[in-house]
A and B are shown apart, each in its own frame.
Chain A
């Protein structure tokens, strides 16, 4: 049986008297993809922030490979790749230099250049390798974030609406990319509005509404339950 990597046990998050996420149980194993679905404000991003260790649960616990999850943990920083809101970028570094920085920081050493060039090609950024971030479109910036995932080691990917700002062709490419990651043994937790993406890559789906899980199971079953 695949190793359980991410586990939320009764994890909830409240802001004052408002519950953004009710107590939730969720687990993601190596080689498994869990999709989180729901309308805007249903608690998807809150759940993913907890899963990425960027926020602490009000009640319950979030663990990664048996350790309490926090983004400051060295193991988490080494093994978990997060793609969230549009990241800020160094205004003075080119697209390629951003990726080099991430690759070297993850210990790629001399292999960094080759990895970066492959990632640029994979993410269709080859023509923008020497562009500064200020000249990129929001879709290209999103692709840059996804490329940064490819130049670093990762056991768990936490992706908050990775399809946003991507055109339909790029979305199909994304589905292929994430299926490949899963096949290579990575665990994936993906929040998305795109049901086709969820159906294409997820083994398990969780549907949220008003911060509570209203359906879960295989993606087709979970989606059918709420329709």
Chain B
């Protein structure tokens, strides 16, 4: 075929193209079906083996649901606004899905080889929407079990198994219909890119509305919310309609006044909205722009590759990149003159360019300090709150290790720097330590001034380096190997799950477990001996963990 100077007639090639694809893939379909059947079998087998006790517990709960108590009535009062808030957040999440993923998605190869041809796109894109919508409806039905089970556990499941089954069925129906509305709206949003800025703008409004509804739920639980407000909430839109069925059956179960007497009408309205949204999106699916499909295919390709190698950081990076636009760095820091300060400068820039990390880390640090302060007040210092506080502190440290992560993501990035890759781990510890000490130091200093006891500052000074070093151990974790997934057979079972857990959380465990024991011991015994022991052992632990992180970094560099 040669270039043509005149107009080309649009061919009717859709049927023949799909026939060719079927022919080329004959035989491969059977293999694909066998693979799907294997995964279904594996899923059912796993559910039967691991979910057995859960199923037995659920069966017992079905037969004898917990009776309603005085607290149950409070929960019942909170149900209309609480469930409406949840439904609103679910709908928002489904709608935001349209900004980066679907529901209409096709593989990158289809985008590059078929969308640029004159085949009718409805044959490609409508089935994709139908598959996504069906999957979302099934997911919605599964998600609907959660609020129903929660209501049963709160004593609002009724008197017998029949009541529980009705409640669960209604939850599943409402969940499925709500997800269908979400799939339809997301499909329409994906079709019309002009709606994307509106979805972004609506996000904080919807979150604020959900927070307001949560406030109403708390008011209803603690005081008396006027019935009219509850009615307005339940009829305020699909989110309220989705909450009506569960609310009504929970009230019936508790033999209380009915807050949603017209719930079949509400559920009917939700069903009509779901049908209308899905039908409109199914019609619109054929017109989803190729540019949107190309961007989504690229994002999903990157995310799948990262997910298959269990690279959660890669998944998050692909997700962030999906919504980002080309931007310029606005904040600048003057570069240092001394060569050894350059990595500190580089890490400060990394934090300054993602300020949300800094804010989250400071908030987590304050939470950790608050939790330790509360735990230290009682006579008995329990390990659990201290451990939880240290996990929060560890998370804060991990958020602050962005500079180290950027190097670990691709060791070639630091190839031009005059430092050995192993030594980078030590340098990358400086900024997170300084920031965490400053953030957590403020409340610690306040506590010292209030009580006249300098111990909190000393304990903070020794905990922070340990947590940061633990975070760096995780940052420089080696790549997963097939052997870790295979595991080893032992008398108590296969070690594959343990391998993966330790691969992910090794640094966390090494930092948090010994520090929990040291901190609780130091807080429990006010003498100087326990404090000195905590400081000395903590400093040693920090050095050992940092050396271990450096060794891991070296391994990453050499591959």
Chain A contacts to B: CB under 8 angstroms: 2-3, 15-18, 20, 30-31, 54-55, 65, 70-72, 74-75, 77-79, 82, 87-93, 97-98, 100-109, 111, 115, 148, 150-155, 157, 181, 184-186
Q: Can you list, as one digit per residue, whether each of B537-559 has a CB less than 8 Å from chain A (1) or not (0)?
A: 00000000000000000000000
* A74 CA to B115 CA, complexed, in Å: 10
A155 touches which of B7, B107, B110, B326 (Cβ 8 Å)? B7
Q: Mark B489-519, 1 if CB is under 8 A from A, else 0.
A: 0000000000000000000000000000000
In this assembly, does B409 line the interface, its C-beta being within 8 Å of a C-beta of chain A?
Answer: no
Chain B residues with Cβ below 8 Å from A54 are 290-291, 294
B113 touches A89 (CB 8 A): yes
Q: Which residues of A contact B28 (CB under 8 A)?
A: 92
Q: Tell me which residues across on chain B come within 8 A of A2, comparing CB atoms.
A: 5
A106 lies within 8 A of B5 (CB): no
- 5 further A-B pairs in the complex, CB-CB below 8 A; given A78-B11, A153-B8: A31-B5, A87-B112, A105-B17, A106-B1, A107-B118
B113 CB contact (under 8 Å) in A74, A92, A101, A109? A101
Measured between alpha carbons, how far is A17 from B25 in the docked complex, in Å? 48
- What residue in chain B is nearest A5 (Cβ atoms)? B5
The answer to whether A152 touches B1 (Cβ under 8 A) is yes
Question: What are the nearest 4 A-B pairs in CB distance?
Answer: A107-B11, A185-B5, A186-B3, A88-B108
| Nearest residue, chain B, Cβ from A114 | B1
Complex Cα–Cα for A53 and B322 (A): 21
Question: By the criterion CB–CB under 8 Å, are B113 and A102 in contact?
Answer: yes
Q: CA separation between A88 and B25, bound complex, in Å?
A: 18
A65 touches B117 (CB 8 A): no
CA distance A78 to B116 in the complex (A): 8
Q: A70's closest neighbor in chain B, by CB?
A: B289
B112 near A89 (CB under 8 angstroms)?
A: yes
- A112 nearest CB neighbor, chain B only: B20
Contacts of A17 in B (CB 8 A): 328
Question: Inside 8 A of B8's CB, which chain A residues have their CB?
Answer: 78-79, 153, 155
Could you jot down 25 A-B contacts, CB within 8 Å?
A2-B5, A15-B325, A20-B326, A54-B290, A55-B291, A72-B287, A77-B117, A78-B9, A90-B110, A101-B114, A102-B113, A104-B16, A104-B20, A105-B118, A106-B11, A106-B13, A107-B16, A148-B113, A152-B1, A152-B117, A153-B1, A153-B8, A154-B3, A184-B5, A186-B4
User: Within the complex, which residue of A79, A90, A109, A115 is in contact with B16, where a contact is CB–CB below 8 Å?
Assistant: A109
Who on chain A is nearest to B288 by CB? A72
Q: From residue A28, how far is it (CB to closest CB) to chain B in Å?
A: 13
**Chain B contact residues: over half helix, strand or loop, or mixed?**
loop
Q: Are B118 and A155 in contact (CB under 8 A)?
A: no
Contact A101 B21 (CB under 8 A): yes
Are A88 and B118 closer than 8 Å at their CB atoms?
no
Q: What residues make up the interface of B, taking CB atoms closer than 8 Å to A?
A: 1-13, 16-17, 20-21, 24-25, 28, 107-119, 287, 289-291, 294, 297, 301, 325-328
Q: Is the CB of B112 within 8 A of A105?
A: no
CA distance A27 to B219 in the complex (A): 67
Is A65 in contact with B7, judged by CB distance below 8 angstroms?
yes
Pair B4/A102 contact, Cβ less than 8 Å: no
Chain B min CB distance to A75 (Å): 7
Q: How far does the alpha carbon of A54 sit from the alpha carbon of B25 in the complex, in Å?
A: 30
**Once the chains bind, are A90 and B5 in contact (CB under 8 Å)?**
no
Please tell me if the beta carbons of A104 and B7 are within 8 angstroms of each other in the complex.
no
* Cβ-defined partner of B116 (8 Å) among A82, A89, A90, A104: A82
User: Which residues of A have CB within 8 Å of B13?
Assistant: 104-107
Given contact pairs A16-B327, A55-B291, A65-B7, A77 touches B113 in the complex (Cβ within 8 A):
no
Given the known inter-chain contacts A71-B290, A102-B117, please indicate yes or no for A185 contacting B10, CB distance below 8 A. no
Contact of B25 among A16, A82, A92 (CB under 8 A): A92
Inter-subunit contact B301/A88 (CB<8 Å): yes
CA of A118 to CA of B488, assembled, Å: 55
CB pair A153 B4 closer than 8 Å = yes
Taking the nearest CB of chain B, how far is it from the CB of A227, in angstroms?
Answer: 30
Contacts of A20 in B (CB 8 A): 326
Q: Which residue of A lies closest to B11 (CB)?
A: A107
B66 CB, min distance to chain A CBs, angstroms: 53
Taking a contact as CB atoms under 8 Å apart, the answer to whether B291 and A104 are in contact is: no
Residues in B with CB closer than 8 Å to A16 are 325-328
B300 to chain A, nearest CB (A): 11
Across the interface, which residues of A come within 8 angstroms of B328, CB to CB? 16-18
Find out whether the CB atom of B118 lies under 8 angstroms from the CB atom of A78: yes
Chain A residues with CB under 8 Å of B111's CB are: 88
A90 to B115, CA, bound (A): 13
Shortest Cβ distance from A48 into chain B, in angstroms? 14
Establish whether residues A106 and B117, one from each chain, have CB atoms under 8 Å apart when the complex forms.
Answer: yes
Nearest Cβ in chain A — how far from B32, in angstroms?
Answer: 10
The answer to whether A75 touches B10 (Cβ under 8 A) is yes
Q: Looking across the interface, which residue of chain B has its beta carbon closest to that of A52?
A: B116
How many angstroms between the C-alpha atoms of A92 and B107 in the bound complex? 13
Residues in B with CB closer than 8 Å to A181 are 2-3
Q: Nearest chain B CB to A117's CB is how many angstroms away?
A: 12
